[in-house]
Each structure stands twice: as C-alpha cells, then as structure tokens.
Structure 1
C-alpha cells in the first residue's frame, strides 16, 4: 500500500546544460501541509513546475515523480493531464497573469469544471457559484459575469483558488499566493487556505519567503538553498532550534515585535548563480560558521536525532546571534 500521496526522488533540472536543481527528495503525505522556504532563486517554484511537466522545452528534468505510486515524470500528455488540476493543482503568485483578461470569471471557472469533472451548462454554473462562495467572493451570482479587472488583487487570488479547487485536487501547490497583497488581505488568504484544507482534506505545498506565514499554514518545512534542500523538519523544531546556518540566518533577518529591540542581522551576499557555484557547500561564501571542509566537500543530507534532515558539516543550533556579534567585533 502506498503511504505517500506524492514522492519526489533525486529530482534534477538543467537549463541548456546548466544544473539548477540538484536532486530533490521529498515525500508529501495525504492531508499534510508543507512549507518550502528560501530566497528567490533557490529552486522552490522550479521543483513543482518540473514535477508537473510545466517547464519550457529547454529544461532537462530527470529523477522520479510518483503520485500514488504511479510515475508521471516523462509520461505522455494524457497521463499528465489526468494529474494536473485533478490530482495536483497549482496557484501562482500573480493572479493577474494567470487569469484570462478577455474571458468572464464564470466562463473560466466552468471551463475548469468541464475539463476536470465533466460538468457543463447549469450544473457547471451552479458548482462555480458554490466555489466562489467557498473562497469568500461576495455576491457571487452578480459577479459571475464580470471580467478579472473588475476584481481586486485579493479577490483575483481567491478566484484562482476557486479554479484550483474545481478539479477537487488531492494536493494544492500555492506558489507565494500572498505576494503583492496588503497585510490584511494576506491574513485572509492564509486563513482561507487553512479552512479549505480542513474542509476538503487536501494536502498543501506552501511556497513562500515568509516564515511567519509558513508557521501558520504548515506542519513541516523544507528550507531550500541553491537548488538543494538544506534542512527539513517539523515547524516547531525549526522555529525553536534551526540547525543550518542558512535557516538560522533567515530567522535572524525577521523583525520581532516581542522582547527587547535588537538590530537585524542580514545574510551577507546573494544566492550564487547556477553557472558560478562555489566548491563544496553552496552556502559557504555567506556562512558565519564556515570551516575548511565546507569549502571542499558538499555535505550530505542526513537524518538527525530529533527527526529532521540536515545538510551541514557544522550545525549551529541557537548560536547565530552570538557568533555574528563575535565576527563583527573581530573585524
């Protein structure tokens, strides 16, 4: 019996021969919520675009992607079309570029219902209105025939979620769904995702830069850097004691509203370009805890005593701020 809904194994992606994803292993259990966090360029979105066969033709994708034990990577188009939308749905960070500006909203939702569930006519219209109500679109019947530009940014994102739900997916991949929304609307979208997961039982992949948002929505988090998972574990463990220096750096760059005021400590430098990767650990040029072996050998992803997985030669625990202050004093 297959215990996982989705299994990614050694998933790699290259564009024109340049490797951008370096062997992602990830299991998604039914009904769980997983956060993918990291800076832009770390490979979060590429991972799921590759898994669903949505990357452009110049991309070379290898490895394994299994849905309920069935291999879909490299499968024929009919197989992929049976997975996209119906088994795994994806909502993108910019709804204005995903919604068709010349088609009315009702038409776009009923089209998804026709493709994924075979609903047409009055049955499709009734179900579309139900989905619009479910995601919190006020006065759905009147707004059914409006165009996307007649909705606010937050409402457009809700409509994208309604379209994703049209196929009754087992897994919803939310790719930074709160980007460019104000704080109040962001909170509403996060609450909606939590409510929908509880109501439908679907699993959720939440891709975000916002660790606070991930902690609200998810039970487990994967921290990605330069096309690799560098730390993965339960939300509570990662927040209480992040072990990888990169994870520690992400937390220390978050403004805190509780406790004494303290200066934020940014992570120096930027994510390396895939064509200019350093030897050894990709994070070593930016790491405050770097040692000689870090610059020579890439650390393996290994399991730890508390149930997380970690790729680091020298885990740091909670010592980040002390170490950074010591570095600054020495310099």
Structure 2
C-alpha cells in the first residue's frame, strides 16, 4: 500500500496461540479507508482467526500478541468499554452462518433496533424507521410487515441480508465479511456479492472479504492476500496477482479452479493437506506439498518481502513471472466473470 494512502487498520506482528500451539505467526497487514481486501486460502490457514483475534473475539484460552491499530488507536489490550465502542460501531463483522448469529427468540426488528440503540442511541419510533431503511437497503421486501417476524420466517439468503443490515446499523468504517456466501446457492451468492459491492460504493466503508472462492474475491476486492499455515505468503492487487501468481501455493489454487466450459478434464489438486500447527515442517510450511521445493526450502523460512509496488511474496523458489498457462488464464477469467 502506498504511504500516501490513509490507513484505517494497521496490523503488526499479530500472533495467536491456543494452549501453547502457535496458529498465527506474525501477520502484518494494512487496510486503507474505503479499500476492499480479500483473504484467501484453504480451511485452517488462519483467515478467520486473524480477524477474530484482531477484534478480541477469540476464547479466553487463546493467547494473542502483536498490535492492531484502528485509525491509530491500539485495539489489543484496550479496556472493554473501548472494545465495545469499536466493535459493531467502527468495525462490524458478518459470518457465514447467519442462523447461528441471529437470536431465534427475538424478532428481527428488535435485534436491528438493539444495534441502533447501542451504537447510535436511537430508540422507539426513530429506531424503527431507521431499521426499516436498513432492511430496505439490503433488499428485504415489505419491511414494515416483516419487521416483526422471527429469523426462522426468512430464507437463508434473507437472513444473511439481515445480518448485513445489523452490521450497517453502527455505520462502520470497516465491514469484515467472513465467507458470507458459503451456505447459499449460486444465485443467492451472486446477489449477496452484488449487495456488498453496491453498499461499499454507497457508504464508502472498507471491506475485508474472507473466502476460498477466488472468483468471488475477484468481483468484490481490489487487493488480495493469500494465507497458508498462519502466514501471508503472497499479496498484490487482484489484477496483478490473478494475472501473474508467483507463489507455488497461489498457483496451485488457480490450477484447481474448475472450468465451466470446454471438455471435461481432471482438476489439478494441491497434493497433501494443510499441516497440523503442532507439527509444522521446518523451513517453508508449504515445501512438503510444493512441486518446486528444493533442499533450501526445507531449511529456511522465507520472509515476506516486497517484489514490486504493492506486491509481497514469501518464497525461496517462486513461479517464473508470466509462467501461467493459457488454459489456467481461461479458468481464472471464467471465475472473475461469474
């Protein structure tokens, strides 16, 4: 990120351990005001843990170290009153399963009104009118009647829209969307992605989009960070990284994208699985699965270094620039067009 861009969030050396087992190994990440950043990687790479730790939402057994500054204010270790003012207000988070986040015994209207009361001091008729506006903004029809309905009376896609409405109640500067389309069918996924894009354009809020879906990330985000085994291994703009992935892991993710056109053919999977954090291999954590690994890869942990403006890479033997095949480029383009 350019030094001239105003930073909204600055994360430095963020580490997380559960019962002494390190799962995040020093995350450095900046988010600019109004920017959309994607976090991608396989399950277990640390995408969600990064932001749960940053917002102080991990259980008590978690040990968190480092620095998380939001508009220059240190968040880690801040008093509870300060945390509650920031969470849901300046920073809001939506999750992939809205059914576990909405209270089944309270009406939707009451839940949105509660958020408005806490973060904006609205009550009574003022809270109801604003809740109607938020429900309408996220595409809920007949808001006055449905204000008094319960979560089970809405579809999965509508529940996700309602979670977004609750997140917007505090007028956040940053919205963190943690795989918000995973449990939805393809049509509803597209609608939610379009909604996130339009809301960002309308409100000017920054967005962090956590996903394993590279096509979705390409639609929503301007910049993308690839995570593996609790570390960022590659970072760049969507245009540059999708056109020229340099880390073998990033390249493997692109090679595994299925083609929706053309003849049927086998996918090219990444061999093996994400390593157990209790038994990380020496050196580069990806080296046991990497077709380009050399002896040095199993001995030294490559640092995350700049390889150009806005590009960072942690790899001893990166994929040669522009080595991506025409076939893979076609699959990437298909994903970006979805």
- Same-fold call, TM cutoff 0.5: yes
SS in structure 2 at match of 1:185 = helix
Deviation of the 1:258 alpha carbon = 5.0
Matched, 1:270 2:266: no
Per-residue deviation, 1:3? 2.1
2:39 pairs with 1:30:
no
Alignment equivalent of 2:148, drawn from 145, 149, 155: 145
Give the match's secondary structure for 2:292. coil
CA distance in 2, matches of 1:298, 1:24: 15
In structure 1, the partner of 2:292 is 289
Selected match of 1:78 from 78, 81, 84: 81
CA offset at residue 185 of structure 1? 0.1
Q: Deviations over 1:263-294 (max 9, x none)?
A: 31000111011101000000011111100010
Residue 329 of structure 2 corresponds to none
Q: 2:241 aligns with which of 238, 241, 266?
A: 238
The answer to whether residue 30 in structure 2 is matched with residue 57 in structure 1 is no
CA distance in 2 between counterparts of 1:119 and 1:51 reads 28
2:7 counterpart of 1:4: yes
- In 1, the alpha carbon distance for the partners of 2:227 and 2:150 equals 37
Q: Hey, what does 1:198 align to over in structure 2?
A: 201
CA contact (8 A) 1:2 1:69 kept: no
Structure 2 residue 212 is the aligned partner of structure 1 residue 212:
no
CA distance in 1, matches of 2:126, 2:5: 34
Corresponding residue of 1:20: 23
Two-structure CA RMSD over aligned residues (Å): 1.5
TM-score (norm 2): 0.93
Is 1:175 equivalent to 2:174 in the alignment?
A: no
Tell me if structure 1 keeps the 8 A contact 2:5–2:32: no
Task: Tell whether 2:122 aligns with 1:105.
Answer: no
Q: Distance in 1 between matches of 2:121 and 2:280?
A: 48
- Deviation, 1:307, is 3.2
Distance 1:282 1:175, change over 3 A: same
Matched residue, 1:311: 314
Rounded Cα–Cα distance in structure 2 between residues aligned with 1:171 and 1:21: 22
2:128 maps to 125
- In structure 2, the partner of 1:90 is 93
Give the Cα separation in 2 of the matches to 1:2 and 1:187. Answer: 30
Indicate the SS of the match to 1:124: helix
- Give the one of 170, 185, 190 matched to 2:188: 185
Instruction: Call closer, same or farther: CA 1:319–1:264 in 2, change over 3 Å.
Output: farther
The question of 1:301 aligning with 2:290 is answered no
Instruction: Specify every segment of 5 or more residues in structure 2 that has no aligned partner in the other structure, as ranges.
Output: 327-338
Alignment length, in residue pairs? 322
Alignment deviations for residues 214-272 of structure 1 (CA, whole Å, 9 cap, x no partner): 00000000000000000000001111110000000000100123566543100011101
Q: Check conservation: 2:244, 2:323, Cα contact below 8 A.
A: no
2-side partners of 1:258 and 1:184: how far apart?
19
Conserved? CA contact 1:249–1:320, under 8 Å: no
SS at match of 1:304: strand
Aligned to 1:228: 231
